[in-house]
């Protein structure tokens, strides 16, 4: 296979179906950012450690820098742009980040949000230690993680109240 080979793929991103011809060698992250223009998904290391590029693939967290775009063919992707319920409202997780100073520069934030969205779905009532383990694969250089952990615990409460 040549590096310049192309394939046509269909990926649903944040509920919208996109059919595009893409070079086979581009990553899912590059597809999301440069082909679809959804630049909220960030690239921090491009080797799968920092977690900034984390998206949800069929509801499960995945490093979009370690996947090829063609591997997402036929799948559903959720990026940070798809988390808020609407243009004027934030998801309780986003509100909790804002209210608990869970972000500073905001560069790792998209990956933190997607990772925690999956985690809080699986574990709606986590302990602090469980939160710390859940985001231990997402690097943040600004916060010392404290605001993020507080935000996640606060979000769990808000989301629980929302369901009640």
Instruction: Catalog residues that contact another protein under the rule CB under 8 A.
Output: 3, 23, 25-26, 33, 37-47, 49-50, 52, 79-81, 83-84, 90, 94, 97-99, 101, 103-110, 113, 128, 131-133, 135-149
How is 109-163 classified by DSSP, letter by letter? Answer: HHHHHHHHHHHHHH-SS--HHHHHHHTTTS--SSSTTHHHHHHHHHHHHHHHHHH
Select 9 or 152, whichever has its Cβ closest to another protein.
152
**Cβ closer to another protein: 72 or 80?**
80
Q: Which is nearer to another protein, 74 or 141 (CB)?
A: 141
CB 42 within 8 A of CB 110: yes
Report how far residue 94's alpha carbon sits from residue 102's, in angstroms, rounded to the nearest whole number.
Answer: 9
| Alpha carbon distance 160, 125 (integer Å) | 8
Report the nearest approach of another protein to the CB of residue 25 (Å): 7
Least Å distance between CB 52 and another protein?
6
Nearer Cβ to another protein (41/61): 41
Backbone angles phi, psi at 32, to 5 degrees: -65, -45
What is the SS3 assignment for 94? helix
CB of residue 154 vs another protein: minimum separation in angstroms? 13
């Amino acid at each position: 296979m040549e590096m310049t080979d192309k394939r046509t793929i269909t990926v649903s991103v944040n509920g919208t179906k996109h059919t595009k011809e893409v070079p086979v060698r581009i990553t899912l992250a590059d597809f999301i950012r440069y082909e679809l223009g959804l630049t909220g998904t960030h690239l921090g290391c491009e080797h799968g450690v920092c977690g900034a590029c984390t998206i949800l693939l069929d509801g499960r967290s995945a490093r979009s820098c370690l996947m090829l775009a063609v591997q997402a063919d036929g799948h559903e992707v959720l990026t940070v742009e798809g988390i808020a319920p609407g243009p004027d409202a934030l998801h309780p997780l986003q509100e909790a980040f804002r209210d608990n100073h869970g972000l500073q520069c905001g560069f790792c934030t998209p990956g933190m949000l997607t990772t925690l969205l999956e985690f809080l779905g699986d574990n709606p009532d986590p302990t602090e230690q469980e939160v710390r383990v859940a985001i231990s694969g997402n690097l943040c250089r600004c916060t010392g993680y404290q605001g993020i952990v507080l935000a996640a615990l606060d979000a769990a409460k808000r989301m629980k109240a929302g369901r009640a």
